[in-house]
Structure 1
């Protein structure tokens, strides 16, 4: 590993005088190899993220909750009206579920390509874009080798892998914002840190508490007035969204997710249904495992930086939740933690750069931990032969779905929903709030429960027979796929 510099790795040549003694305009220096490596790494990570998420969707392993919901939301914005999701309930106003108006920014891209793949590509770009701020900070302060290693360890971290491997989520917008805010904060550019943090209020209602934490760290680092104002704005933003905006839009008149904290909320029923299926699969020990894994890629050095406190609000609400999936390492819940702990890691390494051997050891250890964790998380799917094999059943499913006309109302199995959200009004088969009399029903009767929920095989079979007895007829029954049409 090359020697680690104690200051900036770039120097500016003296400006030459032109005719008449006037200085010539400064010429932009060519990009250094380290900078080119950072952008090459970012592009490579974007390709990894896109390839994995799109391949999962192509294999019909993406889900109604959440890719189907988010496509319905963004399709609403693209069509020029406030977001609704048929999957939550007919005409359900999604701004009463989570406060994420930032999703409207995806609508122009969706207008160019009306497909769930658009969402997956946008998410890949957002997450990949969070790498350069961290890597460039590391390059300026620790050198090129350190920047590349930190970029790799961050970009391949398990929290990012879990999120990329599970559909699309609005918190992808938070990742570059957090990376930019915390790298600015680590370099004591306090106003820039605040400017990048405040848009988090438009990403999701709980992220106002993360803004509070950023404000308090700003205050601790010398910007007392600025930090306290920022913290107050973050708290006000979360309270306004949770106590006023969301209840006023939600049909239940309440914040849907109080129930996860033992409260009375009524709009998160499908989440509770899913979590019941995980009892016994995710134990209380998962909280300890998750906390260890959050910090392990930094060899716990992140704890030496005040930036790590920004992770506290997310960890507190997750571990206080009675939704068991919040406790573990799956899904997208750890995505926002990754830029925080890696920014804290860089900050702590900068504080130790007078001891280059120590910095090298930590970088080597972080790389080793990242490589050891890779096989346990979704990026490993890219080197598995099964990922690149196409099940012949998928052609059958696509052929049957092609028989459903554009604009039709449909109920479909969980894995089939995201294949239909771009051109039909589709709800989840077996989910009670779904539209009760769709024109079409299509079900994968061979799917495992994890891809069939909320129904068991027996209940699903009984419901199909009930529909056959109440105005529906078999259009097709092939390779486990059943297509029903409503009789006229």
Structure 2
């Protein structure tokens, strides 16, 4: 795999550079280390918050999933129902999101979402640092481990891809292990057991943490409790919340296709899931998760096998290629679990190194190599602002790669960002002239959908409306050929557009910018020069 070749070269180069840097004697006082941590956290927060604002203004967020969360919080704040988004009932279990609904009472704006996401991810870092500091009271490990978390390319992937409740998970998990490091097990269990309130997916790391705890004599009861908590939330979501409270099926479970009508078929499905671990993507995906942490998680086999591997494995055995390749937000649990396992790996490595008694220069070389490897991987593979449906674990493309804190290094990339921002302004200038009477309905392309959620009832085009119903007749059909990410079968969309082009009830707005709108004629009773409808001529 091409990615593995790149990683091998980067690792060798980092080791060589680390050996050369071993002669330096850079050391930080406790005060300067704390100051550096604060600046690092603040820079990550501001960088990704500003980039999130840019993506909203440049129409680089989509109805799936940005619009889903935006409309859900807006509905809750305005009294239009809890856990309801623009499509109807929210299709995940994330009751914790309702805590943010009051923000929409202060200001009805989508800017809250990048603020929440960037703040949650960045300000989880001090918890990780304080946890590492409990085990490494001196030395660079706590700060280095925190930097590995922040500079992780998968961190940038979650921070930039729309909005997802999963951004809250590092806060919960790091808080749990901070309590663990202080031997406050009830609080550890509380944070761990409540993490599925963020999203039902997190029952997997909760159960995996329980498996790891079961290997420790004095903590087996807590391990059993964690496994029981994961089982409780699983049964509650699948057997009570969806079928009884919502009256709907949990269709995401079909991504694993595990249960079948017969025991034999279910057993075959289980073996099929295990066989899925041998797909050709696995080596690249595994290495892509380990390399930002200098392979430290592999040093502690118990935690790696029982805590980290199940968290990764549930994605690898999915029938969804997006999950197998950790697209967009599917690495969210690993973003938090991997640095914790890396901390335990560092502890194990420390014990091994004490037996071999490496020289101070060798220790410095190892630390420097890990830091250089971390920065090199971030520089080459961090997600950039225009990234949506791409990954760097199969066949990396370096044409548009290269960034620091996801700020692009190539001038051509900045030019494209500016073009899309100007294009979005042009789209808004045109669509602002359209009338939106009460009860307006529209079917919107994914990329432009969030801009219309406050103007009427929005539905998706066929390629994204998975299992959803939409009316045959709406007031507007809105597409933007100048800002489109092909992520589905366009056959149904093209068929619909062909029908609309021949429908006398609709007229076409074909703007030079690439904006294509089919609008109901009844919305424009007057078309005098200077009227909002005059540009239709």
TM-score, normalisation: structure 1: 0.81
TM-score, normalisation: structure 2: 0.74
Deviation of 1:238 after TM superposition, in Å, equals: 1.5
Residue 383 (structure 2) aligns with: 378
Deviations 1:36-77 (A, max 9, x none): 322222111101221232222322221221111121221222
Deviations 1:404-433 (A, max 9, x none): 537632211111012222443211123462
Query: Could you say if the C-alpha distance between residues 406 and 120 of structure 1 is closer, same or farther in structure 2, counting changes exceeding 3 Å?
Result: farther
Whole-Å Cα distance in 1 between the matches of residues 510 and 106 of structure 2?
A: 33
Aligned partners of 2:65 and 2:163 also within 8 Å: yes
Whole-Å Cα distance in 1 between the matches of residues 100 and 47 of structure 2?
A: 21
Query: 5+ residue gaps in structure 2?
Result: 1-23, 261-277, 385-402, 523-537
Residue 336 (structure 2) aligns with: 339
Aligned partners of 1:182 and 1:340 also within 8 Å: no
Q: 1:464 aligns with which of 476, 497, 502?
A: 497
Deviation of 1:360 after TM superposition, in Å, equals: 4.1
Deviation of 1:191 after TM superposition, in Å, equals: 2.7
Q: 1:247 aligns with which of 243, 254, 265?
A: 243
Deviation of 1:234 after TM superposition, in Å, equals: 1.8
Whole-Å Cα distance in 1 between the matches of residues 238 and 25 of structure 2?
A: 50
Residue 203 (structure 2) aligns with: 208
- 1:250-329 matched pairs, under 5 angstroms: 253-262=248-257, 284-305=279-300, 306-308=302-304, 309-329=306-326
Whole-Å Cα distance in 2 between the matches of residues 114 and 436 of structure 1?
A: 30
- Partner SS for 1:223: helix
Whole-Å Cα distance in 2 between the matches of residues 144 and 57 of structure 1?
A: 41
Whole-Å Cα distance in 1 between the matches of residues 243 and 161 of structure 2?
A: 28
Residue 171 (structure 1) aligns with: 166
Whole-Å Cα distance in 2 between the matches of residues 135 and 50 of structure 1?
A: 22
Q: 2:179 aligns with which of 172, 184, 193?
A: 184
Residue 56 (structure 2) aligns with: 57
Cα RMSD of the aligned pairs, angstroms, is 2.9
Deviation of 1:263 after TM superposition, in Å, equals: 5.4
Q: 1:450 aligns with which of 461, 486, 490?
A: 486
Whole-Å Cα distance in 2 between the matches of residues 417 and 174 of structure 1?
A: 27
Deviation of 1:323 after TM superposition, in Å, equals: 0.5
Whole-Å Cα distance in 1 between the matches of residues 106 and 40 of structure 2?
A: 27
Whole-Å Cα distance in 2 between the matches of residues 318 and 406 of structure 1?
A: 45
Residue 13 (structure 1) aligns with: none
Aligned partners of 2:148 and 2:293 also within 8 Å: no
Deviation of 1:168 after TM superposition, in Å, equals: 0.6
My pick for the range that moved more, 303-312 or 319-328, is 303-312
Whole-Å Cα distance in 2 between the matches of residues 264 and 423 of structure 1?
A: 42
Query: Could you say if the C-alpha distance between residues 146 and 404 of structure 1 is closer, same or farther in structure 2, counting changes exceeding 3 Å?
Result: farther
Aligned partners of 1:248 and 1:254 also within 8 Å: no
Aligned partners of 2:203 and 2:230 also within 8 Å: yes
Whole-Å Cα distance in 1 between the matches of residues 246 and 494 of structure 2?
A: 33
Query: Could you say if the C-alpha distance between residues 361 and 401 of structure 1 is closer, same or farther in structure 2, counting changes exceeding 3 Å?
Result: farther
Whole-Å Cα distance in 1 between the matches of residues 27 and 181 of structure 2?
A: 18
Deviation of 1:287 after TM superposition, in Å, equals: 2.2
Deviations 1:163-183 (A, max 9, x none): 122111111111211122234
- 1:328-367 matched pairs, under 5 angstroms: 328-353=325-350, 354=354, 357=360, 360-367=364-371
Whole-Å Cα distance in 2 between the matches of residues 121 and 159 of structure 1?
A: 19
Aligned partners of 2:83 and 2:95 also within 8 Å: no
Q: 1:482 aligns with which of 493, 516, 522?
A: 516
Query: 5+ residue gaps in structure 1?
Result: 11-31, 266-282
Whole-Å Cα distance in 2 between the matches of residues 249 and 455 of structure 1?
A: 35
Query: Could you say if the C-alpha distance between residues 378 and 351 of structure 1 is closer, same or farther in structure 2, counting changes exceeding 3 Å?
Result: same
Aligned partners of 1:318 and 1:327 also within 8 Å: yes
- Partner SS for 2:478: strand
Aligned partners of 2:315 and 2:326 also within 8 Å: no
Residue 150 (structure 2) aligns with: 155
Residue 75 (structure 2) aligns with: 76
Deviation of 1:3 after TM superposition, in Å, equals: 9.3
Whole-Å Cα distance in 1 between the matches of residues 77 and 437 of structure 2?
A: 17
My pick for the range that moved more, 287-296 or 392-401, is 392-401
Query: Could you say if the C-alpha distance between residues 39 and 179 of structure 1 is closer, same or farther in structure 2, counting changes exceeding 3 Å?
Result: same
Whole-Å Cα distance in 1 between the matches of residues 407 and 157 of structure 2?
A: 13
Query: Could you say if the C-alpha distance between residues 362 and 250 of structure 1 is closer, same or farther in structure 2, counting changes exceeding 3 Å?
Result: farther
Query: Could you say if the C-alpha distance between residues 145 and 304 of structure 1 is closer, same or farther in structure 2, counting changes exceeding 3 Å?
Result: closer
- Partner SS for 1:62: coil
Residue 85 (structure 2) aligns with: 85
